[in-house]
Amino acid sequence: MAIDDKLAERIRNHLGTRRRVVEKRMFGGLAFLLNGNMCCGVHGQELIVRLPADETDRALSKPHARIFDLSGRPMKGWILVQAKGLADDGALAQWVEVGASYAASLPAKKK
């Protein structure tokens, strides 16, 4: 599946100067890892956001958000945000920050 390169670039701009950000091909898309923990990514035209499992339902109540389910086994703590929900930079920045804050709260993974 092709990823939205413009969305990937917008995410890079929002993650900007954060240290220890790495890009990696995952889930048929592109993942952004912070300290070795995935925070967000691009799957097709959508944004993948990783967040605390107990915040999943609240996140899903937001417009254009849906559960991240590629295998028929949806996981709490992972959502997709459709392109319509990312049209302006402010909305994208909020979602990226949700993922980055959660990833930053996790223990760093060793290489």
Residue 44, domain member (yes or no): yes
Residue 35, domain member (yes or no): no
Q: What local confidence, expressed as pLDDT, does residue 111 receive?
A: 64
Q: How confident is the model over 65-80, as a mean pLDDT?
A: 91
Residue 72, domain member (yes or no): no
Cβ 9 vs Cβ 16: under 8 Å: no
pLDDT confidence band for 61 (50 / 70 / 90)? very high
Max CA distance (Å), the chain: 37
State what percent of residues in the chain have pLDDT above 90: 81
Token couple for 78: 């992972």
Beta bridge partners of 50: 78
Residue 53, domain member (yes or no): yes
Range of the domain at 93: 5-27+40-66+77-105
Q: What local confidence, expressed as pLDDT, does residue 18 receive?
A: 83
Looking at the structure of the chain, the number of domains it has is 1
Residue 33, domain member (yes or no): no
Q: How confident is the model over 62-85, as a mean pLDDT?
A: 93
